[in-house]
Structure formats: structure tokens, C-alpha cells
């Protein structure tokens, strides 16, 4: 096929307008497809930071809206393989305006950085957090977004917890993955709450020693509390994140069906173009055959033309995908994996592969027909 | 003098393969756009059907959803005798104190489970919800751990029909009935006795909300203002209808993404239509020359090709609408990040939506057909006649 590349290029340039329209249409469809594939990859195949494989979350089995008693922590720590267990409470609330959405958790300062081994923070800031009851730490990304500096006062108005939390920023941590979270102290939150609501948290963050033991540890933790009033559901951190995603509905089906519709549309568009292109050149095919070009050669030239068009569309599509992905990253970070969406090389490669396959598939029927036409019929062909 | 439409239609029939392929491409785009609209409409319909125009929802000040609202029983006792609140025939004020929590349901079909609203209330609350009726079994008895599930919940989780068991709190609950409330979101909830679930969660004093029924529209407005301004009670009051209206926001992300995808697909389809029409124009150059010689004007040619493109688009639009029809009344559910529970809804493909689909197709057809049509109109007669 590559021997005939100059011929293929010339054929594509024959009708510049048609080729440009096809390539552009392909590029747009492929960029959409690429974005969907990138999202699918991020949700279901994304690589977690290696440290995430060592973390599990234990929450109330019935619903994330219900709590677990804080004394569960000691029992969880007794399960073999558990290195540390830290209670944490999602706070929600409002920072200045409701549209300022970012995650806020109340945690135990002495365990936070042990559990989140991928967060790096200067030692003195870590100590400050452990000493200041009203202290809080934020991720670098969040600090940059809102212009926080050490010493700033951050106030959160609660809704699930009807209290106002007055915090002093004592530390900024760096992390490759989730650097847009605010952590403050659980004991401070409990002080503000009425007696009835203290010492209850919505989940425990569990650090284990070995990713291989994740399944076993999750089961054992849940077994521990099987007959208690508040039963737990323990799962790997990633599974927990995805669990929230499934609240949006059948996300997988949604992504897959749109991808399918897109691919099919692309197939139709390219097939349309190729059919037109081949039909114009039936007489040429006759001439080529007379000159001695074999049927397989002609077939590969025609297929090559289609594949070339879609491949170029695919390359441009990859660039558009990168732009779309950057746009998705800017959206409010309600769905965690989306805030760090990247166009992975593997996804880009897959996109190109799909483009070429669709190109080939679209041209098969017209190319086959044209390549097999008897010479005399081809030469006599009038459209 | 215009070129007869039959010329265009016949041409479309002549080049069957191209017509069908382009029309199918357009149809897919229309189908994607319409399915998004059908989803959003179905959701809005569910929320619109929820909420009685005379009902007022009272939450703790600052809370935006029932789940996040901490409503004290003492506040309820203070406000239930306010003027403007309707009275039941027994003389009891139509004021229902309610506790809303969330229960995770697992089933063989949904092994991961989803969250469903679990609402504790007293019989007065049932009476306030017009259109709410039992379709199977009976209502729960106060003082017993009995629950009634909404129709959509029973449909999605067949294991909790009448006679089934729910696990929440300190033990099991018996499902004794299935309820239905038109299209409202109550179909996705589970009702039970207020005191039972409050005891389970050790929340005898702090519940979620109060639902009031006003005597008429004017008292409703007055009551809302009265409650919101009352410093001592510290509550927010809003019409039940407005409350549910706000929750349609959960469909916003899906709508945005879906329509964005459809818009991009539309550009792709328009280019395909443009391609087809350009090919048609160059293929029929001699015909165009002949038509011009016969006396048809440039604008007649322009109009003719534009109409052909529109006919193509109309075909695509019709196929697209047909593709979407099977979705109609399909039940699905979407979760909300504010209430942490899911609402069941039905896809709604209405005539209006199909009309939008046809307009969308027409738009794509015009965009795709304009340039080729002007290209055809501007062809030099002699050059066109001599082309092959």
C-alpha cells in the first residue's frame, strides 16, 4: 500500500473541497469520540496514584448520609494488614458563595499525611496543623485558585451541620492528584456541634500495607460490624469514587451509546465520500488495469485513500480532543476524576486506530466493486 | 418561474445510496439531540408533577434540601397553629412534620445499589398529598415498622414488593403497600411512620421538614412571608412546587453535555450534507446548463438545490424521530448530588420534541445546502453545458 502513497495523495487532492470537508467532518466527530474515550478511560481504567491502591474507605452501609460511631476506629485498626485508620467527615457548607464548590473535610491532623502519603507538605506546616485547633490546610491548586496565603482566615457556613466554621490557614500541601481539597480538624468541628452529634463520622479512611490484601481487609472490616446497628461498607478508594459517579445514572451506557452513534455517523460520512470518489474514477480503474496494475493493487490504493483521509482527520481530531479535554478540566469539579482529565497517549493511539479502521470499513464496498469490474466495462462506464 | 419539486425528489431517488447515507448521518445527529431533550423533558415532567400549588415546604433557615435541614419538633409545635393553615375535617391543622433520610437499595439488577428517599410522616401528611393512592396492599400503621414503597421503586427493585423487607436502622421493615402519585417524584420514595424512623435514628426531636397546606393562594403567600420573617422560628418557607422546580437542576449537566455533543455532531452532519450536495451539483452540471438555457433564473436554481437539500434533511429528520420513538416512556433514574437519592423518570418524546428535531434537521440541511446551491446558481451556462 505504501508504494502507492504518491498516487493516493494525488487522488485525495483531486477534489480538494471534498477531501477537506471529509477530513474536517471526520476531525470533529473523532474529537468528540476522543473526549468520550478519554472520559471513559479516566473513570474506568484510570491509573490511580500508586498510593491510592493502599487506601480504602469504610462508610455506613445503608447510605453515605448516615454516620458511624468514632470508636469503630480502634476495632478497624485491629484487622491484620491495617496500618492506620482515620475518621473523616465531609463538611459541605458554603464558602462565600454557593458556586465555590470544592471538597472540605474534617480530619485528624496527626493521621492525615500518613494516610495520604502522596501529599507533601513542609514539616513546620504539618506541626502547625497539629497544634492549631482552628487550623486548616489546603491544596496548592485551591490556594492558587482563591489566592489563599498562610495566615488567611477562611470561613465556612455549614448546611448539613448548622454551624459556622472559622479557620486559619496554616499549611498548603502539594499533590499530583487531588490538590483542591480543604482539611480542617475534626475535634474543632465536634466542639462546635451539640452533644448529640459529636463523635460520629460519615467514614473512615483506612491505610493498608499491601494492595493485594485490599479485598480481604474490606471483607474483614465489614464482618467486624455485621451485627452492629451501624453496618459498614468498606471498599477501595477508587471504587468509592466511582460509586458516586454511578449516581448520575447509567454513565457507562450513556458514554457507550453516544460513542457508537458517533462512530456510525463517521462511517456513513466517509463511506459517502468514498462512494462518490470511486464512482468518478471507474474509467481510470479500467486504464490502470490495462496498464498492468493488479486487482489487489488497485484495491489497496482505494482503501489507502480512505484510510489516509480518516487518519489525517484523526490527527487533527487528537488536537481538538486535547482542547476539549482542557475545557472539561475547567468545569466545576463535582465529579472528581474529571478535574484531572488528560488525553493519554494510549487513548490517542486508540483514536487513530479507530479512525483508520472506520476509513477502511467505509471504503470496502465501493472499492471492492470498482476493483473487480472487468476492464472493458470499466472503460465504457459513463456516469 | 420555479423549478418543480418533483425534479429534486426524482434526483434524490436516482442517487439512492448517497441519499440514504447522508440522511442516516443526519438522522443519527437528530436522534442524539432528541434523546437528550426527551430525558430532560421527562425529568422536568416528574418534578413539575410533584408538589401541590397550595402546599408549603418549611425547612431550617439556610438549608436547600430536606436532607440537609435540621427541623426541631418544638418549631413544628409553634408553627402548626398559625393562621392560614388549612384544617382537616377533624379540626387538625394540615401540618405534617417529616423526617427524610436515604436508604441504599441493592438488587440483582443493581448490585451496587442506589439511594432512595425514605420519608417518615404521619397520616396527615398522606392526606395533604393529592393524587397519592395505594395501588397494592395498604398504608402503614402508626407504631409499626411498616413501609409503603413508590411504584417506580417497586418496579426497579422487584424484591421489595408487598411482603418484602427493607433493612434500615435497628432492624427490618415490612413492605405492606405500593403507592402511586401520578408522575410525581413520590413514586421514587418510600414512606413510613415518623416516630418509628425517628426512634431508629435517635432523632426524636430533630427531624427534617414540615409540609403545610394553606387554605388558599393568598394565605399561602402570606404564610410564606410570615414564616420566613419570623426571627424566633428561624426557618425558610417556600412553595412545594418551587422546591421541586429547583431540583430540575440535577438534569442540567446531562442536558449541557448532551446538547454540546449534538451540536458538534450537527457540524459533522452538515459537512456531510454539503459534500453530497456539491457532488450532486457537479454531477448535474449539464442539467443545470440546460435549465438555464430553458429560461430558469439563477435564483430558481438556487432555490431548487436548497429545497433538495432540505428534502434530504427532512428525510433525515423523519428517520431520526423514528429512531428516538422507542425511547418514549422508557423508565430510567438519575441521581442528585444535592439530595443523594435518585429520582425515577420516564423519557418523554412529545410532538414538540419531534418538531424541534425536524427544525434541527432543516437547519442542518440549510447550512449544508447553501454553498452548493449558490455554486450551482453561479455556474456559467456554456461551461456547464460542455462539462462531462
pLDDT in tens, B174-211: 899 999 887 777 888 899 999 888 888 777 788 888 88
Q: Which residue has the higher pLDDT, A370 or B308?
A: B308
Is residue B107 included in any domain, yes or no?
yes
Percent of chain B whose predicted confidence (pLDDT) is above 90: 9
Is residue B69 included in any domain, yes or no?
yes
The H or E element that residue B156 is part of is helix B151-156
Is residue A235 included in any domain, yes or no?
no
Q: Is the pLDDT of residue B314 over 90?
A: yes
Q: Which residue has the higher pLDDT, A321 or B334?
A: A321
Do the chains contact at B275 and A65, CB–CB below 8 Å? no
State residue A106 phi and psi, 5-degree precision: -100, 125
DSSP secondary structure string for all residues of B250-300:
GGHHHHHHHHHHHHHHHHHHHHHHHHHHHHHHHHTHHHHHHHHHHT--HHH
pLDDT for A338 equals 66
Is residue B53 included in any domain, yes or no?
no
Could you read off the pLDDT of B60-87 as tens digits, one per residue?
Answer: 877 777 877 778 888 888 888 888 888 8
B197: nearest Cα among B133, B138, B128, B148:
B148
Q: Which residue has the cell 462506464?
A: A381
Same domain as B217, residue B91 = yes
Is residue A266 included in any domain, yes or no?
yes
Same domain as B151, residue B271 = no
Residues in contact with A168: Cβ distance below 8 Å, sequence separation at least 6, in sequence order: A132, A134, A135, A136, A151, A152, A153, A154
Same domain as A210, residue A74 = yes
pLDDT for B322 equals 92
How far apart CA A359 and CA A269 sit, in angstroms, is 10
Is residue A237 included in any domain, yes or no?
no
- If pLDDT is split at 50, 70 and 90, which confidence band does B155 have? confident
Is residue A376 included in any domain, yes or no?
yes
Same domain as A210, residue A73 = yes
How far apart CA B329 and CA B346 sit, in angstroms, is 5
In this structure, of A194-203, B104-113, B124-133, B216-225, the range with the lowest mean pLDDT score is B104-113
| Listed residues B200, B233, B266: the one ending a domain | B233
Q: Which residue has the higher pLDDT, B252 or A152?
A: A152
Is residue A243 included in any domain, yes or no?
no
Residues in contact with A226: Cβ distance below 8 Å, sequence separation at least 6, in sequence order: none
Is residue B19 included in any domain, yes or no?
yes
Same domain as A111, residue A258 = no
Same domain as A215, residue A66 = yes
Is residue A54 included in any domain, yes or no?
no
How far apart CA B134 and CA A347 sit, in angstroms, is 52
Same domain as A197, residue A98 = yes
Same domain as B219, residue B173 = yes
Residue A334: its chain B contacts at CB < 8 A? 253, 337
Same domain as B114, residue B35 = no
Same domain as B257, residue B208 = no
Residues in contact with B383: Cβ distance below 8 Å, sequence separation at least 6, in sequence order: B289
> Vertex B38, ends B33 and B39: CA angle to 5°?
100
Same domain as A25, residue A120 = no
Residue of B nearest to A91 (CA): B68
How far apart CA A132 and CA A109 sit, in angstroms, is 10
Q: Which domain holds residue B158?
A: 62-233
Same domain as A39, residue A73 = no
Same domain as A365, residue A329 = yes
The H or E element that residue A138 is part of is strand A135-139
Same domain as A179, residue A125 = yes
pLDDT for B126 equals 87
A80: nearest Cα among A219, A176, A179, A248:
A219
Do the chains contact at A25 and B18, CB–CB below 8 Å? no
Percent of residues in chain B assigned helix, strand, coil, to nearest 5: 55, 20, 25
Q: B56 forms bridges with which residues in the sheet?
A: B212, B239
Same domain as A71, residue A201 = yes
Same domain as B155, residue B300 = no
Distance of residue B365 Cα from the nearest chain A Cα, in angstroms: 15
- If pLDDT is split at 50, 70 and 90, which confidence band does B110 have? low
Please, which residues 72-131 of chain B have a Cβ atom closer than 8 Å to chain A? 101-104, 112, 114-115
Residue B275: its chain A contacts at CB < 8 A? 18, 21-22, 25, 269, 272-273, 276
Same domain as B181, residue B131 = yes
Q: Which domain holds residue A312?
A: 2-47+250-380
Tell me the pLDDT of chain B averaged across its residues: 84
Residues in contact with A206: Cβ distance below 8 Å, sequence separation at least 6, in sequence order: A55, A56, A57, A58, A76, A82, A84, A85, A86, A217, A221, A234
Do the chains contact at A246 and B112, CB–CB below 8 Å? yes
State residue B45 phi and psi, 5-degree precision: -65, -40
- CB atoms < 10 A from the CB of B351, how many? 8
A18 contacts chain B (CB < 8 A): yes
Same domain as A261, residue A136 = no
Same domain as B189, residue B108 = yes
Do the chains contact at A261 and B28, CB–CB below 8 Å? yes
Same domain as A80, residue A31 = no
Is residue B159 included in any domain, yes or no?
yes
| Listed residues A230, A265, A288: the one ending a domain | A230
Is residue B191 included in any domain, yes or no?
yes
> In chain A, which residues have pLDDT < 70?
1-2, 46-49, 62-65, 244-251, 331-340, 383
> How many independent structural domains does chain A possess?
2
B259 contacts chain A (CB < 8 A): no
Is residue B298 included in any domain, yes or no?
yes
pLDDT for A336 equals 59
Is residue A240 included in any domain, yes or no?
no
Is residue B244 included in any domain, yes or no?
no
Same domain as B134, residue B18 = no
Same domain as B77, residue B38 = no
How far apart CA A191 and CA A268 sit, in angstroms, is 65
Distance of residue A209 Cα from the nearest chain B Cα, in angstroms: 26
Residue A246: its chain B contacts at CB < 8 A? 112, 114, 335
Do the chains contact at B28 and A265, CB–CB below 8 Å? yes
> Vertex B260, ends B256 and B265: CA angle to 5°?
150
B171 contacts chain A (CB < 8 A): no
Do the chains contact at B64 and A159, CB–CB below 8 Å? yes
The cell for B255 is 442536558
> How many independent structural domains does chain B possess?
2
Percent of chain B whose predicted confidence (pLDDT) is above 70: 94
B15 contacts chain A (CB < 8 A): no
pLDDT for A193 equals 84
Same domain as B110, residue B16 = no
| Listed residues B173, B205, B233: the one ending a domain | B233
Which of A22, A29, A258 is the closest to B275 by Cβ?
A: A22
Could you read off the pLDDT of B275-303 as tens digits, one per residue?
Answer: 888 888 888 888 888 988 998 988 998 99
Do the chains contact at B101 and A276, CB–CB below 8 Å? no
Q: Is the pLDDT of residue B341 over 70?
A: no
In this structure, of B34-38, B52-56, B339-343, the range with the lowest mean pLDDT score is B339-343
Same domain as B258, residue B323 = yes
- If pLDDT is split at 50, 70 and 90, which confidence band does B111 have? low
Which of A64, A248, A271 is the closest to B340 by Cβ?
A: A64
Q: Is the pLDDT of residue B105 over 80?
A: no
How far apart CA A191 and CA A200 sit, in angstroms, is 12
Residue of B nearest to A244 (CA): B337
pLDDT for B191 equals 92
Amino acid at each position: 500500500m505504501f508504494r502507492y502513497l504518491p498516487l493516493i495523495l494525488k487522488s485525495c487532492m483531486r477534489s480538494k473541497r471534498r477531501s477537506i470537508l471529509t477530513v474536517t467532518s471526520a476531525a470533529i466527530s473523532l474529537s468528540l469520540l476522543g473526549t468520550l474515550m478519554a472520559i471513559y478511560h479516566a473513570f474506568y481504567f484510570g491509573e490511580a496514584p500508586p498510593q491510592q491502591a493502599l487506601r480504602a474507605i469504610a462508610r455506613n452501609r445503608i447510605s453515605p448520609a448516615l454516620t458511624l460511631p468514632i470508636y469503630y476506629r480502634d476495632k478497624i485498626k485491629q484487622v491484620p494488614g491495617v496500618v492506620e485508620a482515620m475518621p473523616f467527615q465531609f463538611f459541605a457548607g458554603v464558602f462565600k458563595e454557593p458556586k465555590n464548590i470544592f471538597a472540605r473535610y474534617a480530619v485528624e491532623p496527626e493521621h492525615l499525611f500518613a494516610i495520604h502519603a502522596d501529599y507533601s507538605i513542609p514539616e513546620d506546616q504539618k506541626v502547625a496543623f497539629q497544634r492549631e485547633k482552628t487550623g486548616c490546610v489546603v491544596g496548592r491548586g485551591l490556594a492558587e485558585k482563591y489566592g489563599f496565603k498562610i495566615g488567611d482566615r477562611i470561613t465556612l457556613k455549614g448546611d448539613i451541620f448548622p454551624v459556622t466554621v472559622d479557620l486559619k490557614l496554616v499549611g498548603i500541601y502539594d499533590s499530583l492528584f487531588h490538590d483542591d481539597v480543604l482539611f480542617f480538624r475534626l475535634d474543632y468541628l465536634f466542639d462546635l456541634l451539640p452533644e448529640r452529634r459529636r463523635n460520629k463520622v460519615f467514614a473512615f479512611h483506612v491505610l493498608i500495607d499491601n494492595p493485594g490484601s485490599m479485598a480481604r481487609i474490606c471483607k474483614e472490616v465489614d464482618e467486624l460490624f455485621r451485627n452492629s446497628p451501624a453496618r459498614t461498607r468498606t471498599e477501595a478508594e477508587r471504587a468509592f469514587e466511582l460509586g458516586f459517579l454511578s449516581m448520575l445514572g447509567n454513565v457507562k451506557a450513556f458514554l457507550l451509546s453516544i460513542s457508537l452513534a458517533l462512530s456510525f455517523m463517521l462511517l456513513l460520512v466517509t463511506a459517502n465520500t468514498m462512494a462518490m470518489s470511486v464512482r468518478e474514477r471507474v474509467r481510470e480503474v479500467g486504464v490502470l488495469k490495462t496498464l498492468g496494475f493488479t486487482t489487489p493493487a488497485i484495491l489497496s490504493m482505494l482503501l489507502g485513500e480512505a484510510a489516509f483521509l480518516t487518519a489525517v482527520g484523526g490527527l487533527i481530531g487528537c488536537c481538538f480532543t486535547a482542547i476539549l479535554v482542557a475545557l472539561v478540566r475547567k468545569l466545576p469539579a463535582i465529579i472528581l476524576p474529571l478535574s484531572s482529565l488528560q488525553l493519554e497517549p494510549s487513548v490517542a493511539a486508540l483514536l487513530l486506530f479507530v479512525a483508520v479502521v472506520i476509513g477502511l470499513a467505509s471504503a470496502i464496498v465501493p472499492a471492492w466493486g470498482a476493483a473487480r469490474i472487468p476492464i472493458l466495462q470499466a472503460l465504457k462506464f459513463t456516469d | 418561474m420555479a423549478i418543480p419539486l418533483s425534479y429534486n425528489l426524482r434526483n434524490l431517488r436516482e442517487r439512492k445510496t448517497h441519499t440514504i447515507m447522508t440522511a442516516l448521518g443526519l438522522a443519527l445527529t437528530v436522534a442524539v439531540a432528541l434523546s437528550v431533550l426527551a430525558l430532560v423533558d421527562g425529568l422536568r415532567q416528574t418534578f413539575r408533577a410533584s408538589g401541590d400549588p397550595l402546599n408549603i415546604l418549611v425547612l431550617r433557615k439556610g438549608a436547600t434540601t430536606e436532607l440537609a435541614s435540621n427541623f426541631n419538633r418544638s418549631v413544628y409545635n409553634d408553627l402548626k397553629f398559625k393562621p392560614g393553615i388549612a384544617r382537616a375535617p377533624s379540626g387538625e391543622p394540615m401540618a405534617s412534620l417529616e423526617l427524610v433520610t436515604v436508604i441504599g437499595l441493592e438488587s440483582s439488577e443493581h448490585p451496587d445499589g442506589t439511594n432512595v428517599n425514605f420519608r417518615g410522616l404521619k397520616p396527615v401528611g398522606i392526606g395533604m398529598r393529592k393524587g397519592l393512592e395505594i395501588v397494592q396492599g395498604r398504608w402503614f400503621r402508626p407504631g409499626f415498622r411498616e413501609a409503603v414503597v413508590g411504584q417506580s421503586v417497586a418496579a426497579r427493585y422487584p424484591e421489595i414488593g408487598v411482603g418484602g423487607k427493607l433493612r434500615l436502622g435497628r432492624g427490618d421493615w415490612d413492605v405492606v403497600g405500593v403507592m402511586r402519585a401520578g408522575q410525581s417524584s413520590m413514586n421514587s420514595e418510600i414512606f413510613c411512620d415518623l416516630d418509628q424512623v425517628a426512634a431508629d435514628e435517635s432523632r426524636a426531636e430533630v427531624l427534617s421538614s414540615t409540609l403545610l397546606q394553606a387554605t388558599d393562594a393568598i394565605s399561602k403567600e402570606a404564610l410564606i412571608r410570615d414564616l420566613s420573617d419570623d426571627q424566633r422560628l428561624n426557618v425558610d418557607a417556600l412553595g412545594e412546587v418551587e422546591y421541586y422546580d429547583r431540583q430540575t437542576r440535577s438534569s442540567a449537566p446531562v442536558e449541557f453535555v448532551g446538547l454540546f455533543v449534538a451540536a458538534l455532531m450537527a457540524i459533522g452532519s452538515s459537512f456531510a450534507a454539503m459534500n453530497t450536495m456539491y457532488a450532486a451539483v457537479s454531477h448535474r452540471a449539464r442539467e443545470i446548463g440546460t435549465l438555464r438555457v430553458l429560461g430558469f433564473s439563477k435564483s430558481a436554481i438556487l432555490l431548487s438545490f436548497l429545497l433538495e437539500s432540505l428534502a434530504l434533511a427532512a428525510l433525515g429528520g423523519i428517520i431520526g424521530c423514528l429512531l428516538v420513538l422507542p425511547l418514549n416512556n422508557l423508565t430510567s433514574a438519575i441521581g442528585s448530588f444535592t439530595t443523594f437519592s435518585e429520582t425515577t423518570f420516564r423519557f418523554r418524546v412529545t410532538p414538540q420534541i419531534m418538531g424541534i428535531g425536524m427544525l434541527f434537521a432543516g437547519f442542518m440541511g440549510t447550512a449544508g445546502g447553501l454553498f452548493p446551491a449558490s455554486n450551482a446558481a453561479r455556474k456559467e451556462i456554456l461551461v456547464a453545458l460542455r462539462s462531462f
